[in-house]
Amino acid sequence: MFVTHLECSKCRLTYESERIMHLCTCGAPLLVCYDLDQVKNAVSKEVLGTREPTLWRYREWLPIRQDENIVSLGEPMTPVIPLRKLGPELGMPHLFMKDEGMLPTGTFKARGAAVGVSRARELGVQVLALPTNGNAGAAWAAYCQAAEVRAVVVMPADSPAINQKECTITGASLYLVNGGIGDAGKIVTRAVEEFGWYNASTLREPYRIEGKKTMGLELLEQFSWQPPDVIIYPTGGGVGIIGIYKALEELRSMEWIGEKLPRLVAVQSTGCAPIVKAWREQQKESQFWENAQTIAFGLTVPHALGDFLVLEAIHKTNGCAVAVSDQEILEAQRLLAQREGPFICPEGAATLSAAMRLAEEGWITSRERVLLLNTGAGLKYPETVQADPPVLEPDDRLPDE
């Protein structure tokens, strides 16, 4: 393992990495630092290419000391699919979608859970707690079960039923709160202080982001280390986009990729767009978004702890932030399924709406390679589609199509 220390993302204070750590004394998230020269000596692009196609192929960039602490449910490399029909129709002939719906529990949250739970177990954690909008809770519940770590999950009462069921079947302790993810977070914080549990909330422990970082490492490898021009990401707490940016920075400092990075685009819903608002107002941090509500449940984060890191990632890569409405999201979800096949989640569909908008405005040009991140399977959101097919009697005949 090539971790050297933890570093505050704001004041740059450093901490040692072999004991349990949460936030810096200044209140900002801690990031994991590596000896990247040693990583460079330990692995080459050729060797990497021969490894098993799971996220653990990037183990030199991950914070697990002993292989026996790895908890895996078989995290495959997820496909990058060219959108061969839709792309040219929308003026983006080089449009791709990375489909994270193929991961265990159906979303990219499995990456953060695989690495976060493995590292928690390695540090001797027996009970952990987290607030969630749903998908992260389902993923962490599954990995905790595999790791024999007790999981306590708190989610909004109106979070998708499937996530509640996933937590229940694994035997996690699930609580619903009459409120939003911020309220769930407050309940978790109180319990963690009272009972000494490990707080696995977004960015309050440093390792979930390392799992999400593999999305960036993986997509770069899939693009043969030639970064696409634009990466569009649905942003809630921001861990995914911060993780992708961290991957890009690490690969750049190892000289595995050149100086030019993809422009990172953070997409939110108009029903909860604190980061887009801050971006438009050229602020470095966001403000709490009142009455947050969107069909893209994972994007309902009214105030993200890592907002300044998302804004920095967008700024440093010449990217931007875009808000799309729930109606646009549902239209994009249908359009993608009808033109290309996959049934994607509303958060993923938001990236397609944003791409359409940015191509129309000329911010994306037809020569550019554009990558959408579909963060989860549409199967986890059956209520986003109404099916009303005709019902036949056994002797009826089908009409000619």
For residues 23 and 194, give the distance between their C-alpha atoms in angstroms, rounded to a whole number. Answer: 17
How near is the Cβ of 147 to ligand PLP at its closest, in Å? 21
Burial class of residue 148, CB neighbours in 10 A (0-12, 13-18, 19+): exposed
- Would you count residue 8 as binding Zn ion (CB under 5 A)? yes
Q: Does 135 bind ligand PLP (CB under 6 A)?
A: yes
Closest separation between CB of residue 373 and ligand PLP, Å? 8
Question: Shortest distance, CB of residue 148 to ligand PLP, whole angstroms?
Answer: 25
Distance in angstroms (rounded) separating the CA atoms of residues 290 and 171: 34
Which of ligand PLP, Zn ion, none sits in contact with 111, Cβ below 5 to 8 A by type?
Answer: none
- Which stretch in 3-11, 81-89, 129-137, 318-326 sits in contact with ligand PLP by CB under 6 A? 129-137
The DSSP bridge partners found for residue 130 are 153
**Contact of residue 28 among Zn ion, ligand PLP, none (CB under 5-8 Å per partner type):** Zn ion
Given Zn ion, ligand PLP, none, residue 238, with its beta carbon under 5 to 8 Å by kind, binds ligand PLP
Provide the total of helices (H) and of strands (E) in the chain, helices listed first. 13, 13
Which of the listed partners (ligand PLP, Zn ion, none) does 157 bind, with a CB threshold of 5 to 8 Å by partner kind? none
- The interface region with ligand PLP, picked from 53-61, 83-91, 128-136, 245-253 by CB under 6 A, is 128-136
Among 26, 47, 157, 161, binds Zn ion (CB under 5 A): 26
Please tell me whether residue 24 binds Zn ion under the rule CB under 5 A. Answer: yes
Within 8 A by CB and 6+ apart from 201, the residues are 130, 131, 185, 188, 189
Sign of the torsion angle spanned by Cα atoms 269, 275, 281, 282: negative
Q: Which of 254, 253, 243, 256 is nearest to 214 (CA)?
A: 243
Cβ atoms of 272 and 156 closer than 8 Å: no
Binding-site partner at residue 144 among ligand PLP, Zn ion, none, CB < 5 to 8 Å by type: none
28 makes contact with Zn ion (CB under 5 A): yes
* Residue 160: closest CA among 142, 136, 124: 136
Count residues near ligand PLP (CB under 6 A).
19
Residue 116 near ligand PLP by CB under 6 A: no
Is the CB of 62 or the CB of 272 nearer to ligand PLP? 272
- From the CB of 137, what's the least distance to ligand PLP, in Å? 9
The alpha carbon of 239 is separated from its chain's Cα centroid by a whole number of angstroms, namely: 6
DSSP string, 205-261: SSSHHHHHHHHHHHHHHHTTT---SEEEEE-SSSHHHHHHHHHHHHHHHTTSS-SPP
Contact positions vs ligand PLP (CB under 6 A): 107, 109, 133, 135-136, 202, 234-240, 298-299, 345, 347, 375-376
